[in-house]
Amino acid sequence: MTDSKRRKGLMAASALLGGVLVLTACSGGDDKSSGSGENSQSQADAAAARKSSQADITITPKDGSDSASINNSAAVTVSKGSLTGVTMTTADGKAVPGTLSADKTSWKPDAQLERSTTYKVAAEAKDSAGLVAHENATFTTVSPANSFIGTFTPEDGSTVGVGMPVSINFDKQITDKAAVQKGVTVTSSSGQEVACHWFSTQRMDCRPETYWKENSTVTLKLALDGVEGASGVYGVQQKTVTFHIGRNQISYVDAKTKEMKVTEDGKTIKTIPISAGSPEHTTYEGIMVMSEKYKQTRMNGTTVGFTDNDGKAEYDIKDVPHAIRLTSSGTFLHGNYWGAKSVFGSVNTSHGCVGLSDTKGANDTTTPAYWMYTHSIVGDVVVVSHTGDKTVAPDNGLNGWNMSWAEWKAGSAV
């Protein structure tokens, strides 16, 4: 055999051998085998499916969520089966108690979740054939830096006076006021229209055109969970608050006559001699709402700018009796035991508060201040006139009644 023929023979043999090797490596056998690779895989999948549970478990929030809500958002549900076990733990292993529904198709944690916390959920369920399914998820709740809450007044279940607005102070700057306001609803059993007014990016008050109807019930609904109040900052509150409006008590302070007339349902029930702000320290005029009550409290002049030349307080009284706050800047209606009894009804001597005769210790039940304190509730109205001072600012305390209805509604974002 010539060299050329020998080389051609070797090449042919090599090519044939190579083809066999390639064919053997890439195929599942020749076309006389039990089936193609595709059919075999389908059969394997079908067989596996017949052995898998039909129970379909869903965990919310989704696995990997990093800004999950803390309110009622965590849940485990199942279709085509029943839950047989759910565990929820914090990242450090602390168990979160939860409740399984009577039909065993859903589970929820018993309490509100914590902010900025990672939770792990493991769920197990069985279908009608007894086959078991598992599902796991890990998520992290929204952080304080990326969430906001509103501190509101009055408190749930309280009874307040007819002048009490709903006042909400947010712990973050709200840039999308409309979105937040749409998540706040205030209604009254009296049917009065209620409008909200933004005093700043962090405060919104709501009230009707005129004082609340006595003996009515007001409901505040906060549906702020997930509402984006500012870029990347979401609400976390979802709750309903109700409070009751008591009798209609309005008191009228006249700094000129130095008297206060207390009315209930339009009728005068008591006239009390008072001492308002001196000519050097006049009392604000206007409509003021009682926001806090203290049987005794300390009043120090430095907190409101009343200091001597040496920087010390012009006054520091550590046991002022029967004090009722009218403004956030420091105006009070309060008892006065240190002044002569003769000043009440005759001379205005205070630093801007409205004083009533009282006895040291706040236990003398015969004094005018004791009577006023015990007959007043937060939300009652005090109207002050003839002091020579300016009208109190609407946002200085709960005193939005000093704005016209048109002005009030103009401050709404919706």
Residue 118 CB contacts under 8 Å (≥ 6 apart), including other chains? 90, 91, 138, 139, 140
Q: Is 24 exposed, middle or buried (0-12, 13-18, 19+ CB in 10 A)?
A: exposed
* CA-closest candidate to residue 354, choices 273, 235, 408, 274: 274
Taking residue 295's Cβ as centre, other Cβ atoms within 10 Å add up to 15
**Which residues pair with residue 270 across a beta bridge?**
262
Taking residue 388's Cβ as centre, other Cβ atoms within 10 Å add up to 13
Residue 197 CB contacts under 8 Å (≥ 6 apart), including other chains? 204, 205, 206, 207, 400, 403, 408, 409, 411, 412
Known active-site residue 281: no
Q: Quick check: 393 and 199 in contact, CB under 8 A?
A: no
Region class of 352: left (phi > 0), else alpha (psi between -120 and 50), else beta: left
Catalytic residue among 196, 197, 322, 353: 353
Known active-site residue 353: yes
Catalytic residue among 197, 322, 334, 351: 334
Residue 389 CB contacts under 8 Å (≥ 6 apart), including other chains? 277, 282, 283, 284, 285
Catalytic residue numbers read: 334, 353
